[in-house]
Amino acid sequence: MANLSGYYDPNDKPESFEVLPAGTYTVKIAASDWKATKSGNGKYLQFEMVVCDGEYKDRKVYDRFNLDNPSKEAVRIARGQFASLREAVGIPRCCLQGRKRLRARNAHYHPARYRRSGRIPPPQSV
C-alpha cells in the first residue's frame, strides 16, 4: 500500500472539473496534435487552449478540427473553423502560399477570443 504521509493534505480542496461555462474568453493555444478518429478512418487536429484572464484563468479548453474525414461536409466545416482560428491568431494567408507551410505550432501562444456555447462558433481576433 502506498504511504501518502507528507504528500497529501486532508484540508486541500478538490479541483473543479466542471465544463467551462458559456461565454467569451481570451485564450492562447498551448499545444496541438493530430489524432486518429474513433472509427480509424480519419484524423483530427486537436488544440489545447488555456484561458488567459478572468475567473477561469489557466483553465484548459480543447477544440478539434476534423480535417481528414470521409465526410466532405465534416472537412468543409473543419476547414472553415480552422481558417477562422488562423485569422484570429494573426497568421496571414500568405503563409500558406509558395514554399512556406502552415504548421499548427505557428498558431501557438497568440491570444484569440474564444466563444464557448452549446455550439462552438469560430474564434475571433483579439
Least confident span in 25-39, 64-78, 108-122: 108-122
Of residues 75 and 61, more confidently modeled: 75
Instruction: Over range 53-82, report the average pLDDT.
Output: 90
| 7-65 confidence digits (pLDDT tens) | 777 777 766 667 778 888 888 888 888 999 999 999 998 988 899 999 889 988 888 89
E strands present in the chain: 23-36, 43-51, 60-68, 111-116, 124-125
User: How far is residue 29's CA from residue 105's CA, in Å, rounded to a whole number?
Assistant: 9
